[in-house]
C-alpha cells in the first residue's frame, strides 16, 4: 500500500482564506508537515491551519534550509525526503503546509520535485496569494483590460527590475525587506510610486499597511509585499481603497 502526498496552500494569514478542499485534506491527514526556517521556530503556515487539524494528528516540524538555484540540495533535504518517503511507504496521508500558493515562490516546489522523482502520488491544492488578498482588502485592482501584471522578488538583479518595471502596467514586489530604498527609487523612476502601497505581515499579527513608501521605516518586515500600478489618465486608483 502506498500513501499520498499533499501540498496544501494555506493562503496569506486569515484561516477563512483556505479553500474548502485544503480544509478537507488537512482534516483527513495522518501527518502534517510544517516547514520552518533555520532561524525561526515559528511555522506561520501551521498557525494559520491549526484550527482545522484533527486532534491526535501527528505534526512534524521540518527545517528546509533556503535553496539557492546554484547549490545542490543539502543533506538536510535528503533526510527530510527519506522521512517523508518512509511515511508514504506506510500508506500515510502526508500533508505539507505552504504559505500562500504552493506553485509560486515556495519551498514546496523543491519538495515536490524531490518526491516526484520517487514516484509517490502527489496532489497539490492551490492557495490564495498574499498579493491577491491585499488587492481585495485595499480595493486595489491588480490588472484590468489589456494590462500587464508582473510579479517579481525585490532580490532580482537591478537591470531585470528596471526592464520589468518599464514594460509592466502593474507590478507586485515580493521579499522587499532587502533593498527597500533601491526599490522605492526604481518605482519612482518608472512612474509607479504615487500609487504604490506596501503591506507587511498581511493577515497576521502585526499587520501594517504603508501608503507613503517614502516615509516607511528602513526596517521592513520579511513578509512584505508592494503593489504598484502606473497612473493612467490622471486617475488615482490607489486612493479608492
User: What burial class does residue 233 get, using C-beta atoms within 10 Å of its C-beta: 0-12 exposed, 13-18 middle, 19+ buried?
Assistant: exposed
The C-alpha cell that represents 194 in the structure block? 504615487
CB 31 within 8 A of CB 94: yes
Q: What part of residues 70-129 is at the interface with its own copies (CB under 8 A)?
A: 101-106, 109-110, 112-113, 116, 122, 124-129
199 strand-pairing partners: 209, 225
* CB closer to its own copies, 24 vs 214: 24
Does residue 204 interact with its own copies by CB under 8 A? no
CA distances from 217 to 200, 212, 220 (A): 12, 11, 6
Query: Taking contact as CB under 8 A, which single stretch among the options 33-41, 61-69, 78-86, 208-216 is the one that binds its own copies?
Result: 61-69
Total chain residues near its own copies (CB under 8 A): 63
Q: How far is the CB of 76 from its own copies (least distance, A)?
A: 18
Using CB under 8 A, pick the residue from 168, 179, 200, 225 that binds its own copies: 168
CB atoms closer than 10 angstroms to residue 64: 20
Does residue 146 interact with its own copies by CB under 8 A? yes
Q: How far is the CB of 114 from its own copies (least distance, A)?
A: 11
Cα 126 from Cα 7, distance rounded (Å): 8
Using CB under 8 A, pick the residue from 50, 153, 188, 211 that binds its own copies: 153
Cα 33 from Cα 11, distance rounded (Å): 16
Supply the DSSP symbol for 192.
Answer: -
Cα 58 from Cα 198, distance rounded (Å): 37
Using CB under 8 A, pick the residue from 59, 143, 204, 231 that binds its own copies: 143
Q: Rounded to 5 degrees, what are φ and ψ at 35? A: -75, 145
Q: How far is the CB of 231 from its own copies (least distance, A)?
A: 14
- Site of interaction with its own copies (CB under 8 A): 7, 9, 11, 14-21, 23-24, 67-69, 101-106, 109-110, 112-113, 116, 122, 124-129, 132-133, 135-137, 139-153, 155-157, 160, 163-164, 167-168, 240
Amino acid at each position: 500500500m502506498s500513501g499520498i502526498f499533499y501540498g496544501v496552500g494555506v493562503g496569506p494569514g486569515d484561516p477563512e482564506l483556505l479553500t474548502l478542499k485544503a480544509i478537507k485534506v488537512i482534516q483527513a491527514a495522518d501527518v502534517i508537515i510544517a516547514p520552518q526556517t533555520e532561524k525561526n521556530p515559528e511555522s506561520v503556515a501551521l498557525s494559520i491551519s491549526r484550527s482545522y487539524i484533527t486532534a491526535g494528528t501527528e505534526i512534524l516540524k521540518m527545517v528546509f534550509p533556503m535553496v539557492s538555484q546554484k547549490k545542490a540540495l543539502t543533506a538536510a533535504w535528503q533526510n527530510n525526503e527519506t522521512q517523508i518517503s518512509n511515511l508514504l511507504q506506510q500508506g500515510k496521508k502526508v500533508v505539507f503546509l505552504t504559505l500562500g500558493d504552493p506553485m509560486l515562490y515556495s519551498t514546496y516546489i523543491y519538495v515536490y520535485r524531490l518526491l516526484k522523482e520517487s514516484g509517490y502520488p502527489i496532489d497539490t491544492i492551490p492557495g490564495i496569494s498574499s498579493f491577491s488578498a491585499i488587492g481585495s482588502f485595499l480595493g486595489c485592482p491588480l490588472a484590468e483590460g489589456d494590462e500587464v501584471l508582473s510579479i517579481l522578488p525585490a532580490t532580482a538583479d537591478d537591470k531585470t527590475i528596471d526592464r520589468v518595471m518599464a514594460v509592466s502596467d502593474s507590478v507586485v514586489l515580493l521579499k522587499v525587506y532587502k533593498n527597500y530604498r533601491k526599490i522605492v527609487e526604481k518605482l519612482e523612476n518608472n512612474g509607479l510610486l504615487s500609487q504604490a502601497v506596501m503591506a507587511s505581515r498581511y493577515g497576521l499579527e502585526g499587520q501594517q499597511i504603508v501608503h507613503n513608501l517614502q516615509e516607511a521605516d528602513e526596517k521592513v518586515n520579511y513578509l512584505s509585499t508592494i503593489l504598484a500600478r502606473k497612473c493612467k489618465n490622471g486617475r488615482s486608483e490607489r486612493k479608492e481603497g
